[in-house]
């Protein structure tokens, strides 16, 4: 009879993680690709000791910030189509709560990350322990309870016997296409170090099969009937198309039926930009082609998207009087939005079965011709913005064009917040799946460089370009040092517009004149309207080990990009851009309420415009 293995709880944890595999479509590989950690008194003795002699399949990485490492883990999972994940461990207290923002982003974006924060003592002998939050209504609460609403699964391991069931539940959620997100397992400091005789089978290799659930057959038939009766169908491709590896099925469906395809931020790249049925971004940050076709669509087929307000343009994008929705999604919550006919199932098999049910049917020649015309006009608009030759300071749209033309077809562009996501969604010409990586479910400033690190770890063969504004850079630039430490190659384009340009533009549109969005010194008047605060971003990046340079013209930017492509390591190109030269919106609207009463005339005018626009929006469930 085999001896019962005796390990500490922390040692057992990592032995279990190293033994977990996933399988889809006959391909199997380890699920966990490593552990990120920052140590403190709450995890150094237990979890730290276990990581010191961890199983070989789990490399250990040292980041510079706890929020950043969870962003990196989320980006890694996204770039791996949710088939791999990273674990993140912190101490009790600020180390743990620093992860909360990024954990919320992972859950909102439906990305698997495993969080392992240290916690208070289960025995309560040292009470209160250093960094403990004292909650008068319960001695069992800690700051880790803050993770509950943003975790898809949460548990606190107060006894060694609780570990096996908690780990199995964690894996169930992490590998579930419908339920995945952040999983938090809080580990009291004393329990981490406690030894226990665990059952041997806890550490045996275990494979989690990620299946392709099929939609209800009757629902597929009803959806096909609705599409056959339509005259102006339209597809919205979301991130689920990529996670399901359904890009081939989407292409086959679009080519067989002729239905135009618009893309969400997460779904961009589901079709290459030059595919005949690809009409580009849809919604608030959408193209004229996609938004005009969406406006008049009578049947909208949404695939793998949660239909956020940016995708639906605050429910104004699909304006036909009797528009119907057909929703393909693994998550029932999303499949039932907008009173859609739900096809609850995997994107790939759902598209394949729907295509089979539509055999012989195709959109009309007139509708196909209209789609081609709209697409052609939009590509001309992109060419115009790419070559504005704006002076004396270059425009952001031109920088996007220069990078798009310099990057290889297999390269990845990554961004998250500010005005860049909107411009990239409209303008970036994606050529391969995964070539466009935007965190826009949470639009979290600071994701960019940390996220670029995660993508490069997941796809080392691809060149990763991070586009980041000066505002986001100042929030979280320190992962440049982590990338240098790991010997990774990244190219970071830092666009400097002296403040928060995106919100500055929004502030102006609601009558607030960009208040609080410029980096200005305080003047004699007591307001922040003095001279501009100048920051040497190139010197800052160079101090962390990057090759950094400033480029101000088209020629300088082109040369810097060419050099970066040939250089190993982290390259940072600092580019001043015109804050006021913006890419317009195209046939879209976003519901941002304006103050109903105000002494400011600009706000009063903006409120009138808002009320007029709001009256034209048709509410639907």
Q: pLDDT (tens digit, 9 = 90+) per residue, 231-240?
A: 999 999 999 9
pTM above 0.85, yes or no: yes
Structure token digits, residue 455:
């993508």
Q: Is 380 left (phi over 0), alpha (psi -120 to 50) or beta?
A: alpha
Structure token digits, residue 528:
């922040």
Instruction: Return the DSSP state at 321.
Output: T
Q: Is the pLDDT of residue 289 over 50?
A: yes
C-beta atoms surrounding 286 within 10 Å: 29
CB 95 within 8 Å of CB 38? yes
Q: How far apart are CA 237 and CA 120, in angstroms?
A: 45
Q: Is the pLDDT of residue 2 over 60?
A: no
Least confident of 68-82, 266-280, 290-304, 583-597: 583-597
pLDDT tens-digit series, residues 100-116: 999 999 999 999 999 99
- Produce one character per residue of 389-399: b if its CB has 16 or more CB atoms within 10 Å, e if not: ebeebbbbbbb
How much is the mean pLDDT over the chain?
95
Q: SS3 for 169?
A: helix
Q: How far apart are CA 268 and CA 241, in angstroms?
A: 10
Q: How far apart are CA 621 and CA 616, in angstroms?
A: 16
Pick the CATH number of 388-498+533-576 from 3.90.1010.10, 3.30.420.40, 3.90.1170.50, 3.40.50.970: 3.40.50.970
What would the CATH number be for the domain defined by 217-377? 3.40.50.1220
The β-bridge relationship of strands 85-90 and 113-119 is parallel
pLDDT tens-digit series, residues 310-339: 999 999 999 998 999 999 999 999 999 999
Q: How far apart are CA 259 and CA 235, in angstroms?
A: 7
Residue 1: per-residue pLDDT? 46
Q: What contacts 446, CB < 8 A, 6 or more positions away? A: 67, 68, 71, 416, 417, 472, 475, 476
Residue 513: per-residue pLDDT? 87
Secondary structure, 3-state, 189-238: HHHHCCEEECCHHHHCCEEEECCCCCCCHHHHHHHHHHHHHCCCEEEEEC
- Produce one character per residue of 407-446: b if its CB has 16 or more CB atoms within 10 Å, e if not: beeebbbbbbbbbbbbbbbbbbbbbebbbbbbbbbbbbbb
- Name the residue among 298, 266, 268, 294 with its Cα closest to residue 281: 268
Q: How far apart are CA 572 and CA 526, in angstroms?
A: 36
Q: Which helix (H) or strand (E) holds 613?
A: helix 601-615
Q: Provide the percentage of residues in the chain whose pLDDT is more than 90.
A: 88
Residue 620: per-residue pLDDT? 64
- Produce one character per residue of 38-73: b if its CB has 16 or more CB atoms within 10 Å, e if not: bbbebbbbbbbbbbeebeeebeebebbbbbbbbbbb
Structure token digits, residue 333:
């919550």
- Name the residue among 120, 137, 139 with its Cα closest to residue 129: 120
Q: Do domains 6-209 and 217-377 have the same CATH topology?
A: yes
What would the CATH number be for the domain defined by 6-209? 3.40.50.970
CB 499 within 8 Å of CB 509? no
Phi, psi of 124 (to 5 degrees): 65, 20
Q: Where are the domains of the chain?
A: 6-209, 217-377, 388-498+533-576
CB 226 within 8 Å of CB 249? no
């Amino acid at each position: 009879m085999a001896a019962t293995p005796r390990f500490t709880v922390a040692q057992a944890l990592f032995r279990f993680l190293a033994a977990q595999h996933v399988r889809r479509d006959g391909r199997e590989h380890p699920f966990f690709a490593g552990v990120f950690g920052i140590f403190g008194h709450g995890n150094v003795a237990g979890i730290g000791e276990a990581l010191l002699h961890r199983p070989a399949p789990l490399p250990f990485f040292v980041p510079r910030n706890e929020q950043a490492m969870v962003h990196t883990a989320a980006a890694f999972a996204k770039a791996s189509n949710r088939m791999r994940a990273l674990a993140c461990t912190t101490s009790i207290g600020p180390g743990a709560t620093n992860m909360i923002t990024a954990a919320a982003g992972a859950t909102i974006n439906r990305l698997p990350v495993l969080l392992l924060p240290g916690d208070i003592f289960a025995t309560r002998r040292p009470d209160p322990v250093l960094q403990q939050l004292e909650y008068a209504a319960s001695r069992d609460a800690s700051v880790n309870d803050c993770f509950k609403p943003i975790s898809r699964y949460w548990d606190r391991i107060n006894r060694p016997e609780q570990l096996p069931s908690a780990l199995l539940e964690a894996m169930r959620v992490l590998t579930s296409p419908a339920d995945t997100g952040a999983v938090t397992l809080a580990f009291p400091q004393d329990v981490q170090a406690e030894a226990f005789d665990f059952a041997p089978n806890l550490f045996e290799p275990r494979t989690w099969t990620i299946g392709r659930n099929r939609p209800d057959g009757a629902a597929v038939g009803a959806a096909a009937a609705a599409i056959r009766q339509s005259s102006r169908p339209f597809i919205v491709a979301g991130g689920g198309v990529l996670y399901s590896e359904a890009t081939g099925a989407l292409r086959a469906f679009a080519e067989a039926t002729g239905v135009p395809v618009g893309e969400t931020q997460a779904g961009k790249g589901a079709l290459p930009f030059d595919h005949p049925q690809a009409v580009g971004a849809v919604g608030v940050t959408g193209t004229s082609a996609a938004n005009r076709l969406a406006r008049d669509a009578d049947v909208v087929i949404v695939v793998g998207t949660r239909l956020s307000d940016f995708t639906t343009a605050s429910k104004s994008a699909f304006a036909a009087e009797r528009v119907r929705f057909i929703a393909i999604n693994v998550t029932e919550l999303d499949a039932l939005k907008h009173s859609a006919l739900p096809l609850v199932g995997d994107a790939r098999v759902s598209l394949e079965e729907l295509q089979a049910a539509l055999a012989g049917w195709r959109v009309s020649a007139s509708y196909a011709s209209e789609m081609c015309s709209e697409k052609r006009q939009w590509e001309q608009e992109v060419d115009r913005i790419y070559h504005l030759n704006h002076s004396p300071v270059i425009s952001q749209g031109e920088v996007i064009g220069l990078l798009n033309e310099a990057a290889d077809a297999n390269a990845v562009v990554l961004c998250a917040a500010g005005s860049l996501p909107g411009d990239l969604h409209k303008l970036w010409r994606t050529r391969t799946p995964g070539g466009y990586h935007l965190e826009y479910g949470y639009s979290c400033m600071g994701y960019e460089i940390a996220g670029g690190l995660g993508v490069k770890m997941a796809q080392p063969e691809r060149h990763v370009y991070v586009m980041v504004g000066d505002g986001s850079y100042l929030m979280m630039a320190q992962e440049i040092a982590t990338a240098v430490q790991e010997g990774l190659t990244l190219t970071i384009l830092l666009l400097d517009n002296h403040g928060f340009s995106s919100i500055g533009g929004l502030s102006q549109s609601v009558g607030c004149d960009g208040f609080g969005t410029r980096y200005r010194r305080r003047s004699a008047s007591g307001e922040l309207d003095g001279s501009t605060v100048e920051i040497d971003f190139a010197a800052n990046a160079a101090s962390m080990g990057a090759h950094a340079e400033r480029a101000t013209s088209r020629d300088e930017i082109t040369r810097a990009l060419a050099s970066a492509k040939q250089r190993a390591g982290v390259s940072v190109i600092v580019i001043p851009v015109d804050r006021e030269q913006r890419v317009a919106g195209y046939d879209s609207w976003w519901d941002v309420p304006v103050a109903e009463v105000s002494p400011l005339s600009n706000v009063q005018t903006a409120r009138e415009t808002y009320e007029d626009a709001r009256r034209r929006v048709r509410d639907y469930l």
